Amino acid sequence: MKAISIGLLGLGTVGSGVVQIIENHQDKLMHQIGCPVKIKKILVKNLQKDRGVIVNKSMLTDSADDILDDPEIDVVIEVMGGVEETRNYLLRAVRNKKHVVTANKDLMALHGPELLAEATRNNCDLFYEASVAGGIPILRGLVDGLASDRITKMMGIVNGTTNFILTKMSKFGSPYAEVLKEAQELGYAESDPTADVEGLDAARKMAILATLGFSMNIDLADVSVKGITSITEEDLVYSKRLGYTIKLIGIADRVGEKVEVSVQPTLLSESHPLAGVNDEYNAVYVYGEAVGETMFYGPGAGSLPTATSIVSDLVAVMKNMRLGVNGRSAAAPQYEKILKSDEEILSKYFLRLHVKDELGVFASITTLFSQHKISFEKIMQLPLKDKDQSEIVLVTHKASKKDLEDVLQKLRDNELVHDVKSTYRVEGDEA
């Protein structure tokens, strides 16, 4: 029985995991698809470098042509990262009638529609489960498990680095810089952590999730993004006192035919399931009109969890090969993209203000909010060490993003207000 031949682009942490799983799970793969699976060639930058996995040196190459132009290779697995060069490799692969499995969220967020369309034109599969939330089968859950439902909202922790940092800051009161350094030492954060801590990594994943969940082309530019670098110890302390925990949350919300997609630090009610997702773990909460509420939870990164998702995609490709139905799974978006305006984005908000400590200040601020029809759900007023100032911490009832922005501008212009220290969205508290 002819073996299915694999070309692997990249042999880093995830690539090594893919090699391990394919080698160690041959009996499982044989049972699933009825034939052996063999890795024929692996693209690496340095042929002499010691690897975390033992492979035959003859399998290694530093030329992508040896994989992309080899007619015997059936499936290309891409775990090398990068965007433009990798895009060109994958376009060549599908034009050469090779199926593709990728873990590249950056690539799929920026060029996913183009790559999927080209794969379909060439009767090839292109699967990318591992691009979002590592070992959690969230994309397959949306496309297959919830295929008959209409998804109205997806809300999740999709970046393990920031979740690790916020967990440590919240539990132990550790300063941001100290926890970031620990995350880098443990390998959770890159030496340049900008993509993680500024929310860009999560935004790419939310663009992919929203595209699939809502069946419309959501671009990275459509995602409103704010990172975690401005979160302070005071924000965490006051949040906890009010019954919340702060997480970097990706939100994709649909009302009628209009959508919003964002990534931002968010206060979650401590009773919400996502509030208990700690350290490097990821979770995505999905709301469907029929199914109600479901949650997908698990390791969001790591060699073997991510490799498990990749090999699961590989199994799906190989089953399609046996059935002769490759290239038919990528459905074109069903709906035109219509983004909500700021007037249509509704949420509760947490605000922390430093104001003059004198009679009538609170009444003046309350009047400002009421002029925009924003009312308060929770309020704390506390003295500051500076005797001329006090701190007001409040949670609003639902208000539009537009009204909140107008109020914030007026607060910053108000001579009674020294500083708007922080503003965060509040979710998971529907009381």
DSSP string, 115-141: HHHHHHHTT--EE-GGGSSTT--HHHI
Per-residue pLDDT of the chain (431 residues; tens, 9 = 90+): 688 999 999 999 899 999 999 999 998 988 888 888 999 999 999 888 877 778 888 999 999 999 999 999 999 999 999 999 999 999 999 999 999 999 999 999 999 999 999 999 999 999 999 899 888 889 988 888 888 889 999 999 999 999 999 999 999 999 999 999 998 888 788 889 999 999 999 999 999 999 999 999 999 999 999 999 999 999 999 999 999 999 999 999 999 999 999 999 999 999 999 999 999 899 999 999 999 999 999 988 778 888 999 999 999 999 999 888 988 877 778 889 999 999 999 999 999 999 998 888 888 999 999 999 999 999 988 888 877 889 999 999 999 999 999 999 999 999 999 999 999 999 987 64
Q: Which tokens hold the place of 80?
A: 């090398």
Strand partners, 391: 354, 382
218 touches 123 (CB < 8 A): no
Distance CA 357, CA 426 (A): 27
Distance CA 238, CA 365 (A): 20
- Specify the residue for token string 């607060």: 411
Tell me the residue ranges of DSSP E strands in 341-428.
346-356, 376-383, 389-396, 399-400, 417-427
- For the chain, domains (ranges, CATH) are 4-134+303-323 (3.40.50.720), 138-297 (3.30.360.10), 346-426 (3.30.70.260)
Which residue in 421, 394, 409, 417 sits closest to 231, CA to CA? 421
Which residue in 101, 423, 133 sits closest to 280, CA to CA? 133
User: Which distant-in-sequence residues (6+ apart) come within 8 Å of 395 by Cβ?
Assistant: 242, 267, 348, 349, 350, 351, 376, 377, 378, 379, 426
Q: What is the DSSP letter of 69?
A: T
Distance CA 244, CA 381 (A): 18
pLDDT of residue 1: 61
φ/ψ of 167, rounded to 5, equals -60, -45
Strand partners, 60: 42
Strand partners, 423: 351
The amino acid at residue 81 is G
Residue 276 CB neighbours (<10 A):
13
- Specify the residue for token string 């860009």: 200
Which residue in 147, 304, 141, 132 sits closest to 218, CA to CA? 132
* Catalytic residue status for 2: no
pLDDT of residue 431: 45
427 touches 414 (CB < 8 A): no
Which residue in 74, 76, 132 sits closest to 103, CA to CA? 132
Residue 421 CB neighbours (<10 A):
17
Residue 236 CB neighbours (<10 A):
18
Q: Among the options 41, 98, 105, 205, which is catalytic?
A: 205
Which residue in 132, 133, 67 sits closest to 100, CA to CA? 67
Strand-pair category, 126-127 with 99-102: parallel
34 touches 27 (CB < 8 A): no
pLDDT of residue 179: 93
Which residue in 219, 208, 181, 209 sits closest to 197, CA to CA? 181
Distance CA 309, CA 298 (A): 12
134 touches 305 (CB < 8 A): yes
The radius of gyration computed from the CA coordinates of the chain, to the nearest angstrom, equals: 24
87 touches 107 (CB < 8 A): yes
Would you call 42 helix, strand, or coil by DSSP? strand
Distance CA 17, CA 413 (A): 55
